Structure 1
Amino acid sequence: MTTPRAGCAVDAQGRITFEVPQAHGRRLLLRLRPKKGQPEQTLHLLDLATGGEGHAHAVLGADPVLAEGRWDVYLLQDSERTRLRPGPRDLRALVGGHLREGRSPLAVRVPYVTKDGYLAVRTWLRPAHAEVDRVDVTGRALTVAARLHGAPLSAGADVQLRLRRGGVARTLQPTASKDGRGFSFTVDDEDLDAGIWDMFVRPDSGSAPIRLARLLDDVADRKNVFVYPSVPLGGAVVRPYYTVDNDLSLEVKRAG
């Protein structure tokens, strides 16, 4: 039997409308993909409504907010699951997402095709968010421009680089835009230790750090799509890159 396909469309509010052939199944099942070796724990069911031209529709509304992770999409008929292949995906509403002000908490959903060819939804859920706008690699410096969603910059704001293993941190002073949301900073420290440095911004001296990431568009997996050149800094080579979660980090290697 041919594996059924589901098309989907996303609107600017984050609602996803799924469309499947009417003859297949009665509900859709979204399953939060468990970590390797762990049992599944989080499921979300959607009723299918009969539509025209032999299709049925299910709508994943803006609420409830889905947990951060990867959700696999199944067709459910009685107790039998069938994992869905992707049909047409209309993600145009997501392309300009970085231009809209996100509310707190920030909930992002991006339908995508998995490596083995199935339909899934990548979700992020964050109390506040720093959306990366530009990463400029020039000469012997790296400049990052970003915009805050869910919190404004105020007195005492800073950018923190944290060495992922070792607990070392470096603090940088951001340059804020007039509206207190946009900011930029430059990395030109020649004494960064070798390793992976994660990037955060604190909106003020008493706030929890907010991870820098690029989430507000139609790209579910950015790591191998947006690839930046390295920057020579003193005796090190620094390369900005996006992680598997679309967070922005720095890889530092000692020259030679």
Structure 2
Amino acid sequence: MTGDDRTEPRAHCLAGPDGHLAFTLAAPLPDPRAQLLLRRRTGTGSPDTERRLLALETGTEGETQAVLDRLPPLAEGRWDLYLLRAPDAEPERLRTGLRDLRALVDGHLRDRTSPVAARIPYPTKDGYLALRTWLRTAHAEAGRIEVGDRSTTVHARLHGTRLADGAVVRLRPRGSGGDGEQSAPVDAGADGRDFRLTVDHRALATGTSAGGGFWDVFVHPAADAPPVRVARLLDDVEQRKGSFVYPSARTDGTEVRAYYTVDNDLSFQVRAAG
């Protein structure tokens, strides 16, 4: 295929309320053995082993459709979509058509069991259709973030587990940007799932190296429980980093700011003011 998007196959995507994704090609395919290929993106030089094949079927109005069911879940990562016109045909990348993701908008309002899976269709920078997927044993969904002069409060809800005695939030320095972990109090709700965490700006700044640093946020649901990453995954936003921007708070010559990483995980940045 050429790089001209007028000659490349295009797929529309519809997110269903039960968690399935339906992909529709406008033109019928002459070979009934045609399939849709999902291939997980790997690092340079890594073997291409993660694949999922979906049958393509002709609908009542001549359209060609494939359905990705909610189960089994896809491994966490980024998946590119291809058309296989025949079993031995060369895979063709699919251009992005219309994406109806309204069923995903309120996904954070629905409780999830373990493992917690999420997937969001999105267009790549060059206009191809891809999926961003997450698959975690448990997940803490970040909600409202309130930035004050002295602290930042994050409202969150646990999925796949509940809070118990000894629950604690820990902030881990990334690389050499800080001196050991820091703890933050957990204000738990009555159902053991809703909670608030409060990050003290001065304490975080004091524990950060002179050149600044980044801190990743985890909650331990119980004293002996493994850490659960705090993130925002359960809606229709594939990458929040550039669109959800929170103000910085100044303390002792530094700026402390909550932000989302490229993977939608919640972190804090500490840097010199100005």
TM-score (norm 2): 0.89
Q: How does 1:54-203 map to 2 (within 5 A)?
A: 54-78=62-86, 79-166=89-176, 168-190=180-202, 191-193=206-208, 194-203=212-221
Instruction: Quote the Cα distance in structure 2 between the aligned partners of 1:87 and 1:255.
Output: 44
Give structure 1 regions of 4+ aligned residues with deviation exceeding 3 angstroms: none
Instruction: Quote the Cα distance in structure 2 between the aligned partners of 1:76 and 1:160.
Output: 46
Which region of structure 1 is more displaced relative to structure 2, 16-25 or 198-207? 16-25
Which region of structure 1 is more displaced relative to structure 2, 180-189 or 118-127? 180-189
Instruction: Quote the Cα distance in structure 2 between the aligned partners of 1:51 and 1:255.
Output: 59
Instruction: Quote the Cα distance in structure 2 between the aligned partners of 1:155 and 1:67.
Output: 31
Instruction: Quote the Cα distance in structure 1 between the aligned partners of 2:168 and 2:16.
Output: 34
Structure 1 match to 2:38:
30
Structure 2 match to 1:8:
13
Instruction: Quote the Cα distance in structure 2 between the aligned partners of 1:2 and 1:51.
Output: 22
The 1:186–1:204 alpha-carbon spacing in structure 2 relative to 1, beyond 3 Å, is same
SS at match of 1:98: helix
The count of aligned residue pairs is 256
Higher strand share: 1
Give the conservation status (yes or no) of the 8 Å contact 2:201–2:256. no
Q: Give the RMSD, CA atoms, in angstroms.
A: 1.4
**Aligned-residue offset at 1:225:** 1.0
TM-score (norm 1): 0.96
Instruction: Quote the Cα distance in structure 2 between the aligned partners of 1:45 and 1:189.
Output: 48
**Aligned-residue offset at 1:236:** 1.9
Deviation digits for residues 27-51 of structure 1 (CA, Å, limit 9, x no counterpart) = 1000101113323221110010111
Instruction: Quote the Cα distance in structure 2 between the aligned partners of 1:105 and 1:118.
Output: 29
**Aligned-residue offset at 1:77:** 1.5
Instruction: Quote the Cα distance in structure 2 between the aligned partners of 1:12 and 1:199.
Output: 30
